[in-house]
Amino acid sequence: MSDDTINNPALLPAGLRDLLPPDAETEAMAVESLMEVFAAHGYQRVKPPLLEFEASLLAGSGAAVAEQTFRLMDPVSQRMMGLRADTTPQVARIATTRLAQTARPLRLSYAGQCLRVRGTQLAPDRQIAQAGIELIGCDNPAADAEIVLVGAEALAAVGVVRVSFDLTLPTLVPILLDDAGFDGERRAALGRALDRKDSASVERHGGALAATLADLLLASGPADRALHALDAAPLPTLARELADRLTAAVAAIRARAPTLRLTVDPVEFRGMRYETGVSVTIYAPGRHEELGRGGRYMCGEAEPATGLTLYADAVLRAAPPQPARPRLYVPLGADQDDAGRMRRLGYATIAALAPEADPVGEAHRLGCSHILRNGSAVPLSTEG
């Protein structure tokens, strides 16, 4: 890399980027549309700080994102601090401390930026805009269903209606492996085979579990097929309870949204390590990146919770293009009441700050689509 490139003031670290007009406004408006849906369902907004002391930020569910957390020394307290890589652990802290005496179930929402040490091949950005909900203090299928249903409504509010909710049970495979006594390299080899969806390797390393795991692996897809395979599988008690919970959650979702696309991957166990039950990842057809993810976890030491985080950048890439706010040039001396009325109608008014010999030319130069004439917004395309 040349010195000129290194010294370029526009150069940013890998995985970080500037968001320019009109994209920054589009993202902000989309996030507020998501938050409005959350609020309409009773989710009250909280705003955790960007930085916290490392000891509290990485406690409990926060330990799952410790490797993705930037750390720095607080020059005031001389204590180590962390810059959040995920907002859910912070909301869990708020729920168990500041809001410990608030009536349950507790519904909280949030929106903000997170920073991660590294991105992924599919999602290289390290700064991520999140908007999400947490439902704390309730452990039943209706709660599992609610985060999916509210998430679907929020996505529809920004035009993303063709989505698939992929339901998983991240603890199912570990329970099966524990029950069968798998450990060490044998367990790791089987885990890798399941992760790669390699049925031949599952057969080779699965031992007494091979047939069950192979059936569940092949059943991945539409919810009905996967639930049928889970129902037929010889599962130990804890695994059976998980499978029955998933079946009940699917039924609760379908009772209110029968056309929502639901898929199930019974042996998927990747994701946040704090997930403890029914979990969900959201995809749009034809796109490989996640639009959001969430699921059940423990808030604090023992309080059941579930939640969903939507990734605003990915959501916008899946959404239909949004028309830019029309820009209206307001010549010097124009009636400001007219300009105010135009703003209420959705125009961005660009006020002249000095006399212009050619207002139309100036409007074109400033990227305006209209000019204010006699109290009306006149398209520049009609001006000579």
d(CA 182, CA 368): 66
44, β-bridge pairs: 108
**What is the spatial distance between Cα 88 and Cα 292, in angstroms, rounded to a whole number?**
13
| Alpha-carbon span 250 to 254, nearest angstrom | 6
Its pTM stands at 0.91
pLDDT digits (tens, 9 = 90+) for 281-313: 999 988 888 999 999 999 988 899 999 999 999
Q: What is the pLDDT of residue 318?
A: 95
Residue 3 has pLDDT above 80, yes or no: no
pLDDT score of 287: 84
Q: State yes or no: pLDDT of 223 exceeds 90.
A: yes
Asked whether 90 and 118 are in contact (CB, 8 A), the reply is: no
Is residue 22 reached through a cis peptide bond, with omega within 30 degrees of 0 on the bond before it? yes
pLDDT digits (tens, 9 = 90+) for 173-186: 999 999 999 989 98
- pLDDT digit string, tens, across residues 71-106: 999 999 999 999 999 999 999 999 999 999 999 999
- Render pLDDT for 136-170 as a digit per residue (tens, 0 to 9): 999 999 999 999 999 999 999 999 999 999 999 99
**How far apart (Å, rounded) are the C-alpha atoms in residues 261 and 254?**
10
CA distances to 221, 356, 372 from 364, in Å: 52, 12, 13
Is it the case that residue 274 has pLDDT exceeding 80?
no
In the prediction, which pLDDT does 371 show?
A: 97
pLDDT of residue 376: 95
pLDDT for 271 beyond 60: no
- The string of pLDDT tens digits covering residues 46-79 is 999 999 999 889 888 788 888 999 999 999 999 9
